[in-house]
Chain A
Amino acid sequence: MRTEAHAAAAAGGPGRQGAMIEVVCNDRLGKKVRVKCNPDDSIGDLKKLIAAQTGTRWHKIVLKKWYTVFKDHVTLGDYEIHDGMNLELYYQ
């Protein structure tokens, strides 16, 4: 427990800001994942992480935020995706 707490603190978990963010991806059908990533990761990398966690293939994933489709080559920082943001998970 304590070790966990320390780890969380040391790792600069979601509570504390490293240059690391945790993004929540939800597909409203029961799949919800929290993915830790850097702000300078691209959406494609994020998709890969999501795929690793959800068990799909990464190129089948479409990340959206209300009609805004996030493109693979743009970074999270450029999209201004901050820590704790919810993204919509779709499939194509």
Chain B
Amino acid sequence: MGSSKKHRGEKEAAAGAGAGAAGSSGPGTAEQAPRHREHKKHKHRSGGGGSGSGGGGAGERRKRSRERGAERGSSRRGGETEARNGSAHGRERSQVEPVERRVKREKRDDGYEAATSSKASSGDASSLSIEETNKLRAKLGLKPLEVTAVKKEAAGTKEEPVLADVINPMALRQREELREKLAAAKEKRLLNQKLGKIKTLGDDDPWLDDTAAWIEKSRRLQKEKDLAEKRAKLLEEMDQEFGVSSLVEEEFGQRQKDQYSARDLQGLTVEHTIDSFREGETMILTLKDKGVLQEEEDVLVNVNLLDKERAEKNVELRKKKPDYRPYAEDESVDDMFKPRSILAKYDEELEGERPHSFRLDRGGTADGARERELEEIRANLRQQAQSLTMAGPRLASEYLTPQEMVTFKKTKRRVRKIRKKEKEVVVRADDLLPLGNKTSEGDFGSRLRGRGRRRVPEAEEEREAPSQLPQSDDTRVENMDISDDEEGGAQGPGSPETLEEDQVEAELQKQLEKGRRLRQLQQLRDSGEKVIEIVKKLETRRSREEDEDPERKGAIVFNATSEFCRTLGEIPTYGLAGNREDQEELMDFERDEERSANGGSESDGEENIGWSAVNLDEEKQQQHFSASSTTILDEEPIVNRGLAAALLLCQNKGLLETTVQKVARVKAPNKSLPSAVYCIEDKMAIDDKYSRREEYRGFTQDFKEKDGYKPDVKIEYVDETGRKLTPKEAFRQLSHRFHGKGSGKMKTERRMKKLDEEALLKKMSSSDTPLGTVALLQEKQKAQKTPYIVLSGSGKSMNANTITK
């Protein structure tokens, strides 16, 4: 049944009112007012119900009422809540209402409407009355509501606006006018009072027009005069009586007699120099300006003179004389008497100006007698003074003046001592001869001759035959034979006169020399012997050996071909292939074996020589080779000789990989290229002279076994995250590496964005919207435990968190 709680409440309220439970239902009517409209709609139906239940069901309805007063326990509340939804609701509806009840109810409703008109308009707000509230508060332990019985706020509330006082503008204006009038009247009165005292022009004296009045006035005046005279006379008489009159007369007389004369000027100072006053000139002196409170004596000045003095002072200042002259000397006699003080230039500033002045003596006169006397004295002194200035510097003359010459005395000329010249000794070559004895002795410190004393006899000989020059050491050595005869001979004629040094030492030297020579010879002999031995050996061993170059005994010969052969390297040259001429360095394994087989213990010298164990066969071959060493093409090794020969053949044909393929690995500074099967052949290495030799430029063949092989080339490029790159991207990556620089900022950002979008795309779910709406929906439903979702209200108030019920 569709009747709402509202209706029920209303009915209850109405019933309650009817039953007389004013307090309980009073608040209950509060919310009825708006529903009243609705109620009226359903009047026919619910009205009856309401009134029907009014009598009997009041108590019940009260139970079911949503009004919860303090007196109702919680149990009732619970009952009410149940009953609200219960079927008891329907019971009321079934009751039939008589019509008069409807009318009554209407009346009541009106009343309630009036009563509740002031209540809030929104629906379903339950409220307690004040008493109930107070009871509730008492139960809770709160103080009761503060209710002031009649307290009217001026403004009132929204619900019940209070009438403001009526402002009567007319009355206000009238009052104002009255006030103004009163004020004006008052002012007028005051003015009149003031003005009343003053005589106006129109208000003349009466006697001006009227002669009689004038006569009267004149008479009166006369009378007053007379009276005044009389009084004066009386006063004088009184004075005379007392004897005061004479004094008074005296005073008056004195004042007239006393006149200001020159006498009065005695002692006054005049602030000028006497010199500034010239004879026969009149100058007016005035008192110098002085402060009012200054108690000093008066000073007389002449204005013009003052100005002149000031001008002079300014001129002096403008001349810019030096301020400070520390070493100022007295320029004149006068200055001597001036007291010198330190930094006199500041005296005026610090102590103030002290102008020249003189005093007037008795009678107001002044004469400059004293000054003149002082002047005379000064003049005298000046005359007597001696100046300390010396004669100024004069340009000195270069020559003596005649006067100066006079002063000189003639001095004797001193005879100069002339130095004697020494007689020159004519030196002739003959004289040098005896000297030559000492100087021309050659060979200072030659070891061969000891200390050069052995040459003395030779020198002597030379002297006899001066043309004979002393021989050098080397030549002497060369001329020496391997014998000691010369020595002995040389010694023979040695004159003992010049042998100054120890003969022992000479002997020692001699012996040493001898020994050295002998050793050398021995060496030579030894080597020679050695060679001979070796040759003999060789001859015995290789009787058919060619004549060997004696020079090749101990020498190791290098040439390009031998080097080449050496670098052929690991694989020994077997058989007859290759250069056989220079085979000292070749590792001949067979030869070694033979050698070892032969058991020849070879000395180092023999190995150097190289031709050690020789097979007869090989000898032949070697002979052949040595004969044909100049041919260009090598003879092919015979393959049936063995594996070695075959290998050699293969090598020569290039079937064996002997060259080391140089593969340059590019060292990437950041990251290497992602593709693994790739290497860069460094073409620069080809330019090496020696490395080029290792290339094989000959004939190559494909392998037969790998005919059908078709390589499935699949080059995969990846970027740093591991993603496979498209060809375009791969090329871009390559070109970045090649050029050494990547994309700019914009480009990389775009690329990143694109990658992100791709990633997002991958992450997108197929069954849901990008925001995951379906998932959210399901979550919400789970939380709500309802299969639906209510979309209403503001997001904040309808959160799942806030609604717990």
Whether B133 sits at the interface, judged by CB under 8 Å, is yes
- Contact call B148/A19, Cβ cutoff below 8 A: yes
Task: State whether A33 touches B126 (Cβ < 8 A).
Answer: yes
Residue B732 is within 8 A (CB to CB) of chain A in the complex: no
Q: Which of A7, A29, A30 has the most CB of B within 10 A?
A: A7
Taking a contact as CB atoms under 8 Å apart, the answer to whether B145 and A18 are in contact is yes
Inter-chain contact B151/A16, CB cutoff 8 Å: yes
CB-nearest residue of chain B to A31 = B124
Contact A12 B149 (CB under 8 A): yes
| Known A-B contacts A24-B120, A88-B797; A1 and B111 likewise in contact (beta carbons under 8 Å) | yes
Contact B142 A1 (CB under 8 A): no
Q: Does B9 contact A (CB under 8 A)?
A: no
Binary contact readout A27-53 vs B (1 if CB under 8 angstroms, 0 otherwise): 011101111111001000100110011
- Select one of A5, A7, A24, A33 contacting B129, CB under 8 A: A7
Q: Would you call B797 and A28 a contact (CB within 8 A)? A: yes
A84/B145 contact (C-beta < 8 A), A4-B22, A15-B160 known: no
For B81, B130, B140, which residue has the most chain A Cβ atoms within 10 angstroms?
B130
A87 within 8 A of B: no
Bound complex: CA of A92 vs CA of B802, how far in Å? 7
Q: Would you call A8 and B136 a contact (CB within 8 A)?
A: no
Inter-chain contacts of A66 with B (CB < 8 A): 796
Contact A18 B126 (CB under 8 A): no
Contact B133 A36 (CB under 8 A): yes
User: In the complex the two chains form, is A53's CB within 8 Å of B126's CB?
Assistant: yes
B108 touches A12 (CB 8 A): no
Q: A92–B801 Cα gap in the complex (Å)?
A: 8
- Contact check, B126 vs A16: say whether CB atoms are below 8 A apart: no
Residues from chain A with a CB closer than 8 A to the CB of B133 are: 35-37, 49
- B115 interfacial by beta-carbon distance below 8 Å: yes
Q: How near does chain A come to B571, taking the closest CB pair, in angstroms?
A: 94
Given A1-B115, A8-B26, A13-B118; A36-B153 close (CB under 8 Å): no
Check if B804 is an interface residue, CB within 8 A of chain A: yes
Residue on A with the closest CB to B30?
A34
A14 touches B118 (CB 8 A): yes
A45 touches which one: B125, B142, B147, B158 (CB < 8 A)? B142
> Would you list which residues of chain A between 43 and 92 have a CB under 8 Å from chain B?
45, 48-49, 52-53, 55, 66-67, 83-84, 88, 90-92
Q: How large is the interface on B (under 10, 10 to 19, 20 to 34, 35 or more residues)?
A: 35 or more
The smallest beta-carbon distance between B74 and chain A, in angstroms, is 8
Neighbouring A residues of B111 by C-beta, 8 Å: 1
What residues on B are CB-neighbors of A38 within 8 Å? 143, 145-146
B6 → chain A, closest Cβ, in Å?
Answer: 12
Residue of B nearest to A84 (CB): B158
Query: In the complex, are the beta carbons of B119 and A55 less than 8 A apart?
Result: no
- For B145, the chain A residues whose CB sits under 8 A away are 18, 20, 36-38
B152 within 8 A of A: yes
How close is B25's CB to chain A, nearest CB, in angstroms? 8
Q: Given A16-B157, A18-B151, A33–B125 Cβ distance below 8 Å?
A: yes
B780 interfacial contact with A, CB 8 Å:
no
With a cutoff of 8 Å between Cβ atoms, the chain A residues found around residue B123 in the complex are 32
Q: Which of A7, A13, A49 contacts B136 (CB 8 A)?
A: A49
State whether B802 touches A91 (Cβ < 8 A).
yes
Question: Tally of A-B residue pairs with Cβ under 8 A?
Answer: 132
Is A33 touching B127 in the complex (CB atoms < 8 A)?
Answer: yes
Residue among B136, B143, B802 making CB contact with A90, cutoff 8 Å: B802
Q: Determine if B112 and A18 form an interchain contact, defined as CB atoms under 8 angstroms apart.
A: no
* Cβ contact within 8 Å between B126 and A67: no
Q: Is the CB of A7 within 8 A of B124?
A: no
| Bound complex: CA A5 to CA B114 (Å) | 9
B128 located at the interface, meaning its Cβ lies under 8 Å from any Cβ of chain A in the complex: yes
Total count of chain A residues near the partner, CB < 8 A: 45
Minimal Cβ-Cβ distance residue in B for A40: B146
Could you say which of B108, B147, B149 contacts A1, with CB atoms under 8 Å apart?
B108
Tell me the minimal C-beta distance from B155 to chain A in angstroms: 9
How long is the Cα–Cα vector from A14 to B127 in the complex, in angstroms?
11
Contact residues in A for B81 (Cβ distance below 8 Å)? 55
Given A67-B796, A91-B802, do A5 and B151 touch, yes or no (CB 8 Å)? no
B26/A53 in contact, CB under 8 A: no
Contact (Cβ within 8 A) A55 B68: yes
Q: Which residues of chain B are near A53, meaning CB under 8 Å? A: 68, 126-128
Question: A69–B503 Cα gap in the complex (Å)?
Answer: 134
Cα–Cα, bound, A35→B218 (Å): 106
Instruction: Give every chain B residue within 8 A of A7 (Cβ-Cβ).
Output: 22-23, 26, 129-130
B648 close to A (CB within 8 Å) = no
Contacts of A48 in B (CB 8 A): 140, 142
Is the Cβ of A36 less than 8 Å from the Cβ of B157?
no
- Please measure, in the bound complex, the distance between the C-alpha atom of A31 and the C-alpha atom of B74, giving whole angstroms: 17
Instruction: Name the one of A13, A67, A92 contacting B804, with C-beta atoms under 8 angstroms.
Output: A92
* A11 and B147 alpha carbons, distance in the complex (Å): 6
B46 contacts chain A at the CB level, 8 A cutoff: no
User: With A17-B153, A41-B142 known to touch, is A30 a contact of B124 (CB < 8 Å)?
Assistant: yes
> Which A-chain residue is minimally distant from B112 (CB atoms)?
A1
Instruction: State the CA gap A82–B124 with chains docked (Å).
Output: 21
What is the bound-complex CA distance between A17 and B157, given in angstroms? 7
Contacts of A14 in B (CB 8 A): 118-120, 157, 159
Residues of chain B within 8 A of A32, CB atoms compared: 122-126
Separation of A59 and B553 alpha carbons in the complex (Å): 123
Residue of A24, A36, A67 touching B128 (CB-CB under 8 A): A36
Query: A52–B68 contact, CB under 8 A?
Result: yes
Q: How far is the CA of A51 from the CA of B202 in the complex (A)?
A: 99
Contact partners of B23 in chain A: CB under 8 A: 7
A10 touching B22 by the CB < 8 A rule? Answer: no
Residue B753 at the chain A interface, CB threshold 8 Å: no
Task: Please give, as numbers and ranges, the residues of chain B lying within 8 Å of A55 by CB-CB distance.
Answer: 68, 74, 77, 81
Min distance, Cβ B124 to any Cβ of chain A, angstroms: 5
Q: How far is the CB of A31 from chain B (nearest CB, A)?
A: 8
Q: Given the interface contacts A32-B124, A37-B145, does A16 sit within 8 Å of B160 by beta carbon?
A: yes
Is B157 touching A15 in the complex (CB atoms < 8 A)? yes
Check: B410 CB closer than 8 A to any chain A CB.
no
- In the bound complex, do residue B127 and residue A4 qualify as a contact, i.e. CB atoms below 8 Å apart? no
Q: Does B793 contact A (CB under 8 A)?
A: yes
Give complex CA distance A45, B140 in Å.
8
Tell me the bound Cα distance from A18 to B148 in angstroms.
5
Query: Looking across the interface, which residue of chain A has its beta carbon closest to that of B160?
Result: A15
Contact residues in A for B26 (Cβ distance below 8 Å): 4, 7-8
- Which residues of A sit under 8 angstroms from B112, Cβ to Cβ? 1
A26 to B147, CA, bound (A): 25
Nearest chain A CB to B20 CB, angstrom units:
10
Most buried by B among A52, A55, A66: A52
Please give me the residue from chain B that is nearest to A39 by CB atom. B146
Asked if A83 and B136 make an inter-chain contact with CB atoms under 8 angstroms apart, the answer reads no
Residues of B within 8 Å of A4, CB to CB, are 22, 26, 29, 115
Task: Determine the distance from Cα of A7 to Cα of B132 in the docked complex, in whole angstroms.
Answer: 12
Residues on B with beta carbons closer than 8 Å to the beta carbon of A12: 147-149, 151
Residues of B within 8 A of A22 (CB): 127
**17 A-B contacts, Cβ less than 8 Å apart?**
A4-B29, A14-B119, A14-B120, A16-B151, A20-B147, A26-B122, A29-B805, A33-B127, A36-B145, A38-B146, A45-B140, A45-B142, A49-B133, A52-B136, A55-B77, A66-B796, A67-B796
Other 11 A-B pairs with CB < 8 A, given A12-B151, A30-B124: A4-B29, A11-B129, A15-B118, A15-B160, A16-B152, A24-B125, A32-B125, A48-B142, A53-B126, A55-B74, A88-B797
A-B CB proximity, top 9 nearest: A34-B127, A15-B160, A1-B111, A19-B146, A11-B130, A32-B125, A18-B147, A15-B159, A4-B26
